[in-house]
Amino acid sequence: MFVRRIVALLAAVSLAVACSDSKGPTFAQLNGREFSVTSIEGYPWPAQLATDGRLHLVFVDGQLSMKGECDTVMSKVLLHSGTLITDPSHAAHVGVGCEGHMLDVQDWQAQFYAAPMQLELDGRSLTVTATVDGKRVVISLEEVAFVGIS
């Protein structure tokens, strides 16, 4: 009887730890999904630039595609325990290029893309935390209709 109680207690503790230990989403949970930015904390320009411009994250078959205002960048990624790491040395860029201030925005987005990102998924909401230029950046995104990587 004592052994069964200990086994039941250990099982309950293990289940509680497993349920409370959020390690972030798996790639299977993100695959084939597209998310659009709703807000950015730590963005270096006025807040309206963060949400007025297009910034989408698209997850497809082990790749992360980031659609910016003038450029789309994509590469294979690793996702482990909620931390996503891109391989910017093998990233492909597609786009028309930016001019003026939007070139600065594009450069910032490229730095964001290259930074390790902590991901939290809650239903249709994705939160991404990264450090860009020494500043903590928290980006909130909502799932949108999947269009694809380009």
**In a domain? residue 36:** yes
Q: CA quadruple 22, 43, 135, 36: dihedral positive or negative?
A: positive
Average pLDDT over residues 114-126: 97
Mean pLDDT, rounded, for 80-109: 85
Structural domains counted in the chain:
1
Q: What is the reported pTM? A: 0.79
Print the domain residue range for 71: 23-144
Q: What is the mean pLDDT of residues 94-105?
A: 81
Residue-wise pLDDT tens digits, 8-20: 323 333 333 334 3
- Asked if residue 5 belongs to a domain, the reply is no
The predicted pLDDT at position 87 comes to 83
Write down the pLDDT at residue 90.
81
- What CATH number is attached to the domain comprising 100? 2.40.128.270
pLDDT, tens only, 32-51: 999 999 988 988 876 666 55
Q: What confidence score (pLDDT) does residue 51 get?
A: 59
Which residues of the chain form beta strands (DSSP E)?
33-41, 56-60, 63-67, 71-80, 83-86, 92-95, 117-122, 125-132, 135-144
